[in-house]
Chain A
Amino acid sequence: MSDTLIAFDDVLASYDPAMGLEVHVELNTLTKMFCGCPTEFGAAPNTQVCPTCLGLPGAMPVVNRKAVESAIRIGLALNCDIAEWCRFARKNYFYPDMPKNFQTSQYDEPICFDGYMDVDVDGETFRVEIERAHMEEDTGKSLHVGGATGRIHGADHSLVDYNRAGIPLIEIVTKPILGTGAKAPEVARAYVAQLRDLIVALDVSDARMDQGSIRADVNLSLSPKGSGVLGTRTETKNVNSLRSVERAVRYEMSRHAAVLGSGQKILQETRHWHEDTGVTTSGREKSDAEDYRYFPEPDLVPVAPSREWVEELRGTLPENPTARRARLQAEWGFSDLEMRDTVGAGALNVIEQTIAAGTSPQAARKWWLGELARRANEQGLLVDALPVTPADVARVQALVDEGSLNDKLARQVFDGLFAGEGTPDEVVAARGLAIVSDEGALSTAVDNAIAANPDVADKIRDGKVAAAGALIGAVMKEMRGQADAGRVRELILEKLQ
């Protein structure tokens, strides 16, 4: 039973979308929020647990200072106020992935509140207001056994691993995002993308959406165009890629419009996003299950960050990623497209470092987005995970600039670097890759090429300079590529004109 959908343009003709985004960021602290258990991803099940995170009787939680610091730094980077005093609260619900039968979270006293982030979409800026960012803990992971698809439906029983239970999470909640119209899906995506960049710059999380260290919930409602009356919203859970954020908003807009257009009401409910088919399906209706009976956590004392501490943390904030990008683009003279490709390839840092090591911006871009991006792609790596450093690339380009290497030889140097054969200079020496500048050898090779191709030589003598390419190729072949093609051309023309 698939949903009826309305074409996106028709949705916009009748409705204004309102969005709300809730993003959970799993922090990269070494230990959990309230206990000293390690937080490594992918460990064997139930090997990173203790009485506290298993909720065993008598265990007492103690707050991880680093997690509070990360929460404050995230809040400051999002232009939030930082609470002078706040508490944790118990969010009570029964679910096997939460061994305590409550999640320790924050309720009406979030540590960060009232912030904003300016989001850029195609040169247009949208201000996304941040309602709050609060501290809480992650849940365990359930494996559903017996169901056809690994989902709960049809499962006989579930197997729970509590390694993730208690890992610090920061939940960042926006205020309703209004006035984005047709750009709503892109604004949602750009917000999550910029938030992720900010998290990376702050170095507070692995920020891997594919591993669930950043997870987005998308709230959406439609109101009749121009009415300003917010409609009933749905909450689409666990949208775990940037592309899916955009698709989920677009899908729900089309679905809502179809439901409303047929005179029915939107059910206030949780929806599940299906990455494979690009649709949402109904989850549970909001009801008693949402009555969490929050109350202040009696086992934890309040957090009261001193203003000195907050200012000290403010001093550790990195340059805003958006501002940094604009600065670098101006410094490097990259076009918008070049800059977008650079960011998309995750090559901003390596290119910056390569330029700092003396390479021109265009040459640095050429290597990292061409040859090296291709190799990274083949190996399923990001460019910054390659066994080639910015210093290596800078040295290779320096050798090209001084005429010791051409691009073809440079690529062979990269072969050597990937094979672990040492520094660029060691690879050049060991593989004998330097360009031969021995004029005698070059001259002989040119003579041989002319002798072997008399027809071509005649054409050049007749003034058809374009024919020189064939001779250059022959010379380069004899020189095993280790010649400067420009110099070869000069020699050929000198001899034949």
Chain B
Amino acid sequence: MPEITRDEVAHLANLARIDLSDAELDHLAPQLSVILESVASISGVAGDDVPPTSHALPLTNVFREDVVVPGLTPEQALSGAPEVEEQRFSVPRILGEEA
């Protein structure tokens, strides 16, 4: 049965940019284990004839033709941006990485 350790939860939280206190980690790590176990119980029910799936719909090949559809104006696109400069989204500088 899958079990998730406190360290793994801390690692995932960091990757997801979620700041968790020690107390929160103590609280959440066991809960996540229970959730994973519950989800894993599904594989116990599914027989060998039921392949794993990532979609609820039995569909493939849903395509769009290569035709331009009007999108947003720059004003609309930028309307939710905290800061705008030169018709671009202004974001804080990124430390430690280069594009």
A residues with a Cβ closer than 8 A to B are 29-31, 35-38, 44-51, 53-54, 62-68, 85, 87, 92, 94-97, 142-146, 151-153, 155-162, 272, 283-284, 288-289, 291, 293, 295-296, 298, 300-305
Contacts and interface: CB of A to CB of B under 8 A. Distances in A.
Contacts of B93: 144, 146, 152, 155-158
B65 interface: yes
B67 interface: yes
A304 B69 CA distance: 25
Interface of B: 11-12, 14-17, 54-55, 57, 59-74, 77-78, 85-94, 96-99
Contact of B71 (A36, A295, A301): A36
Contacts of A96: 89, 91, 94
A289 B98 CA distance: 12
A160 B88 contact: yes
Given A87-B54, A284-B98, A62 B64 contact: yes
Contact of A153 (B64, B73, B98): B98
B60 to A, nearest CB: 4
B97 to A, nearest CB: 6
Contacts of B86: 45, 143, 159
A257 B58 CA distance: 54
Contacts of A305: 61
A30 B68 contact: yes
Contacts of A156: 93
A243 to B, nearest CB: 23
Nearest to B66: A66
Given A37-B68, A302-B55, A97 B63 contact: no
A161 B92 CA distance: 14
A361 B78 CA distance: 57
Contacts of B64: 31, 36, 62-65
A399 to B, nearest CB: 45
B94 A303 contact: no
**Chain A contact residues, majority secondary structure:** loop
Contacts of B85: 145, 159
A38 B68 contact: yes
A142 B63 contact: no
A298 B67 contact: no
A490 B40 CA distance: 99
Contacts of A152: 93-94, 97-99
Contacts of B92: 157-158
- Residue among B11, B65, B89 with most chain A CB within 10 A: B89
Contacts of B73: 47
Contacts of A47: 73-74
B62 to A, nearest CB: 5
A46 B98 contact: no
A67 B66 contact: yes
Nearest to A289: B97
B27 to A, nearest CB: 22
Contacts of A51: 71-72
B99 A97 contact: yes
A293 B88 CA distance: 29
B88 A159 contact: yes
A49 B68 CA distance: 11
22 contacts: A30-B68, A36-B68, A38-B68, A45-B87, A50-B69, A50-B72, A53-B71, A62-B64, A65-B64, A65-B65, A67-B66, A142-B99, A144-B93, A158-B91, A158-B94, A161-B88, A272-B98, A283-B97, A284-B98, A289-B97, A291-B11, A302-B60
B66 A301 contact: no
Nearest to A44: B87
Contacts of A31: 64, 66-69
Nearest to A53: B71
A289 to B, nearest CB: 7
A180 to B, nearest CB: 29
Nearest to B17: A94
Contacts of A272: 98
B9 to A, nearest CB: 13
Contacts of A142: 91, 99
B20 to A, nearest CB: 16
B17 to A, nearest CB: 6
A97 B91 CA distance: 10
Nearest to B87: A45
A284 B71 contact: no
A151 B97 contact: no
A63 B72 contact: no
B97 A284 contact: yes
A112 B23 CA distance: 47
A304 B89 contact: no
Contacts of B72: 49-51, 54
A37 B71 contact: yes
B56 to A, nearest CB: 9
A160 B98 contact: no
A445 to B, nearest CB: 64
A288 B77 contact: no
A29 B63 CA distance: 14
Contacts of B94: 95-96, 152, 158
Contact of B89 (A151, A153, A160, A288): A160
Given A62-B64, A95-B97, 10 more contacts: A35-B69, A37-B71, A62-B62, A143-B88, A153-B98, A158-B93, A289-B97, A296-B54, A301-B55, A301-B57
